Structure 1
């Protein structure tokens, strides 16, 4: 199964990606995790990514696309994957389409986690406190939500028109949300 998880920052994509990867036996590929790993290792990409992340901005497409392309070519992603945090823009959707077409594949579904904005802000504040993340301060949180609305929310319409979108309520206990996702994918 080849999936994309969409939703605003703090919607629970990372939590659900980990659970779904196990349930569906596919790797969860998170651009955020890849960026943070590069930051902690002090790589050039990490320093570049950190400057954007600290401002609540997206890392430029060319950097992100190259990273995702390389990861999707890994052997464990040949038969399926779950993308968390990619694509985020229509240009990235086009690039993902090209990557998949080159492999003779296509997406099976795009799962949109829907959540209340105030709940997202609350979740992000809690995550910032627990994980000491510099990219989760209150001002940065609000800015990230604005950036999401401008750049990523249009993907919802795009994938809906393609018949790939499955909207799922992202509020509730983690196992309940996982169950809802698996049900819309016909795996529950």
Structure 2
């Protein structure tokens, strides 16, 4: 299967992508991983992306599209893939259509993870990270530490990242609504969209996603 995963920040896309890709036996292709891999390997696209990033500029669509195209042409993606974070706007969606058309394949589904905006803010703004080890993550509501502000694992100080502040989260949501959400209508016109609620336990959401994809 060839799937695009869409949803606002805090919808759990990364978590669901990993589970779905494993269940479907297809590679999980995330924009973040694409950038890290190309930059660490020193590819032409990676170096170009890095130059924009160092200058504090947005990486052009053409660079992101090129990275995604190269990754989708790898042998392990011959029978399908799950795209997470790409396409991010309609221009990228149109480019993806052209890439697939050239390869004589097409998307099977666009899975839209739906989460109320207030829940997104609650999920992200409630995160607390350990200063000693960023892998130690807590949440003031869903996974509260035994002692407020103290990591259960190592006793380090817990803090809220600047990116996780409510103000920043709401700005990220505005960007999502403006730039990314329009691709849902774009794909809906192709009868590809399956919308599911991303509320509930991880395995419950995965089950709903698998049921939707079976359609």
User: Could you say whether these structures have the same fold, taking a TM-score greater than 0.5 normalized by the shorter chain as the test?
Assistant: yes
* Structure 1: runs of 5+ lacking an equivalent: 53-57
For 2:180 and 2:94, locate their aligned partners in 1 and report how far apart those are by CA, in whole Å: 13
Q: TM-score, normalised by structure 1?
A: 0.85
CA spacing shift, 1:128–1:145, aligned 2, 3 Å:
farther
How far apart, CA to CA, are the structure 1 residues paired with 2:32 and 2:213?
24
Aligned positions of 1:23-38 closer than 5 A: 23-36=23-36
Q: Is residue 12–residue 170 contact of structure 1 (8 Å, CA) maintained in 2? A: yes
Change (3 A) 1:161 1:37: same
Give how far 1:161 is off: 1.5
Q: Structure 1 residues 36, 126: closer, same or farther in 2, change over 3 A?
A: farther
Match of 2:145 in 1: none
Paired position in structure 1 for 2:137: none
> What residue number does 2:74 align with?
74
- Structure 2 unaligned segments of length 5 or more: list them: 135-159
Q: CA 1:139/1:128 → structure 2, altered by over 3 Å: closer, same or farther?
A: farther
Query: What is the TM-score normalised by the length of structure 2?
Result: 0.75
Provide the aligned length of Structure 1 versus Structure 2.
182
Alignment match, 1:92: 92
Per-residue CA distance 1:105-150 (angstroms, 9 max, x = gap): 0000000000011211222234573648664444332221101100
| Distance change in 2, residues 1:149/1:60 (3 Å) | same
Give the whole-Å Cα distance in 1 for the aligned partners of 2:163 and 2:67. 20
RMSD: 2.6
Higher relative contact order (CA 8 A, sep 6+): 1
- Counterpart-to-counterpart distance in 2, 1:110 and 1:147: 20
Give the match for residue 157 of structure 1.
185
- Other-structure match for 2:167: 139
Output the CA distance in 1 between the equivalents of 2:39 and 2:162: 12
Task: Give the greater-gyration-radius structure (CA).
Answer: 2
1:169 and 1:74 map into 2 onto residues whose CA distance is: 32
Distance 1:134-1:120 versus aligned 2 partners, 3 A rule: same
Q: Does 1:103 align with 2:103?
A: yes
Establish whether residue 168 from structure 1 lines up as the match of residue 172 from structure 2: no
